Structure formats: structure tokens, C-alpha cells
Amino acid sequence: MENIIADRKVRAGSVKKLRIKKKKLYKVGQYVWAICRFLLIFGLGFVILYPLLQVISKVFMPTIQYQDLSVIWIPKSLTLDNIKNALEYLKFWPSLANTLILGLSCAAIQIIVCALTGYGFARFRFPLREPLFLLVILTIIVPTQIIFLPSFVQYRFFDFFGISRLLGMVTGKNYTEFAKNLIDTRWSFWIPSLFGVGLRSGIFIYLFRQCFRNIPKELEEAAKIDGCGSIKTFVRIMLPNAKSSILTVFLFSLVWHWNEYTLTRTFFPQNYQPLAVRLKLAVDGMVNDIATRTNLPFQMGVTYASVLLFILPVLMIYIFTQRWFVEGVESSGIKG
């Protein structure tokens, strides 16, 4: 009997010891994992920030030090020459104004139109709703490179709903005399935005639909009982409840317009060129200019500075509003 009790005691003790050991091991494992996790995030964070860091380091470095092997990250002396040159090559201030005007106006238009369309898809049952919504998806996945050519032709000889063709038929002249040339005007961006097929409008429609679906129906019914029409319900009840989505759409639209290159390059051959276009033109211009063609360090200095000037405003916007970007993606992803 005593033997058995003693045995049990010993066993219980060893189990306890084992448990403590396991706990310790677990804790050690946790620490090791925490370190690994830190290294992983730090490393990948470095990969993400690498171009930025590189650009920042090179921008303030006198170009003469680019080939100096003893200089890698930290310049021996600082200079603002690169920035000054870049400001000139980019025609920075007018281009910045162009970019901002384009981005802000299109974002505002897209919010209104996409919210209306998204609400229509979210709350009303009508025939062909699902196939039509598939068309919204189609506008998202057809790359702009496919339709920007016909669009270019369309805006070059813009014929609103066949009005110029009609005029042409009446007067017996070629319709192109009445067609408006919208290339090199901001209308080539405003018109598609206005009709909900602007830059990535499909995604915004999708986002708004997702958002309106999640607002409880009771709110609308209450408004209806109080005698609100559908437009009034939409403006008074739905929009105030979709504030975060509106902000998300606004930010995404602004940033995407900021970064758009293919369309802006095509639709603004001469005037109203935004920064993205000027950036590429500045770099290409330096490569082709006899005065700077062989001066590689100069080219690089200006390029780095231009890139920094180009992304800095967006970066600032992102730093202050990153929560809304992330939440926007999160709310759109669930239940596709």
C-alpha cells in the first residue's frame, strides 16, 4: 500500500515536471517564433521599402558619388540639385495641378454615379439583374489596352448618341464636321466617369453594392413608411450610412487616377498632362536629348528625384488614410 502511494507520488511529480518542461518548451518556442516572425516581416518590409529607400538615398546624393564605390546608402554630402532639375523636367507644379484636378473631379463624379448604380443593384429586384451585374464584372476584367483604341477614336470624333450623325445627314456633310474632338480635354475622362464606366468604376460599383447590402433593410422601410421616395431614401438614409465606403472609393479613385498612365498618355497627347505622363516623358526626353544622353549619372539623379516627387503626395495621402484603404478591400472581399 505505502509502496503504491509512494509510486504515485513519484509519478505525479514527474508528470508535473514534464508539464513544466513542456510549458517551458512552449514558451521558448513562442519566443523563437516571435523572433522568426520579426525577421520575416522586417526582411519583407525591407523588400517593399527597398526602392523607396534607394530613391531617397540617391536623390540627395550628388551625382558624382553614384560611381563612388565607397558610397552605398549614406551620401557623403547632400544636394538639392536633383530635385531642382526634376522640378524643371517634370514641369512639376502645373503637372501636379493637372493631376489633382483630374483625380479629384473624377473621384467626385465616380462616387455619385457608382453609388447610384451600386444601390440599384443592391436593393431592387428587376429582370436581367444578374446578367447585368456580370457585365459590371466584365468592365472590371477587360484590360483597358483592349478598348482604349476604339475609345480614342470615339473621343477623337465624339458623336453624342448620334447627334452629329443626324446633323450630318440633315445638312448632307460628313458627320466629322460636327463631331467634337475631346482628345486633349478633360472630358475624355469626365464623360466615362459620368456614365459609370470610368477608370475602374466597376470595382467601385461592386464596393457600393456590397456596402448597401449590409445596411439593414428596416432603415429603408422605416423611411418609406415616413413617406420618403426612393431618391430621398437614398440621399437621406443610405448615403450617410455609407460614409466609410464613400471615403474608400474617393481615396482609391484619386490614387488610381494619379497612377494611371496608358489612358492619360493616350488622351492627353499635349495638354493637361498629369504627373505620370510627364514622368515618362521627362525620362525618355533625357535619354534622347544629345546634351544629356551620355550623362548617365545626371539622368539617374533626375529620374530618382522625379519618381520621388511623383509618389511623395500619394505616399502622404496613404500614411494618413491607410485604415480606409485596408477596410475598403476587406469589406469587398467577403462573399463575392
Partner 1 sequence: MAGKKKLNRMRRREARTGYAFISIWLVGLIFLFLRPLGMAFYYAFQEMSITPDGMIYEFVGFENFIYKFRDDIYFFDSTVWPGLSKFIIEVPICVIFSLFIAIVLNQKFKGRTFARALFFLPVIITSGIAIQVLRSYGLDTSMETENTYLFSSNGVADVLSNAGLPMGIVDIFTQISNRIFDIVWMSGIQIILYLSGLQGIPSSEYEAAQIEGATAWECFWKITWVRISPITLVVVVYSLIDSFTNVSNVMIKFIYEEYSLRGNLGGSSALGLSYCLVAFLIIILVYAVTAKHVFYVNEA
Residue (34 or 97) nearer to partner 1, CB = 34
Residue (1 or 240) nearer to partner 1, CB = 240
Residue (149 or 222) nearer to partner 1, CB = 149
| 96 grid coordinates | 501636379
Nearest approach in angstroms of CB 77 to partner 1 is: 19
Nearest approach in angstroms of CB 62 to partner 1 is: 15
Phi, psi at 104, each rounded to 5°: -65, -45
Helix (H, G, I), strand (E, B) or coil at 320: helix
Give CA–CA dist 205/52, Å, rounded.
33
Residue (55 or 81) nearer to partner 1, CB = 55
* Contact (CB, 8 A) for 183 and 269: yes
Nearest approach in angstroms of CB 10 to partner 1 is: 26
Nearest approach in angstroms of CB 318 to partner 1 is: 5
Give CA–CA dist 248/230, Å, rounded.
24
Nearest approach in angstroms of CB 124 to partner 1 is: 3
Residue (272 or 304) nearer to partner 1, CB = 304
Q: What angle do CA 325, 329, 335 make, to 5 degrees?
A: 160
Nearest approach in angstroms of CB 6 to partner 1 is: 31
Supply the angle between the helices 296-333 and 201-213 in degrees, to the nearest 10: 30
- Select from 244, 218, 239, 270 the least CA-distant residue to 328: 244
Nearest approach in angstroms of CB 290 to partner 1 is: 19
Residue (9 or 236) nearer to partner 1, CB = 236
Residue (10 or 169) nearer to partner 1, CB = 169
Q: Is 265 exposed, middle or buried (0-12, 13-18, 19+ CB in 10 A)?
A: middle
Q: Tell me, rounded to whole angstroms, the distance of Cα 66 from its chain centroid.
A: 32
Give CA–CA dist 272/185, Å, rounded.
7
60 contacts: CB under 8 Å, gap ≥ 6: 75, 78, 79, 80, 82
* Contact (CB, 8 A) for 199 and 114: no
Nearest approach in angstroms of CB 334 to partner 1 is: 6
Residue (81 or 327) nearer to partner 1, CB = 327
| 304 grid coordinates | 530618382
Tell me the chain's radius of gyration from C-alpha atoms: 30
Give CA–CA dist 234/232, Å, rounded.
5
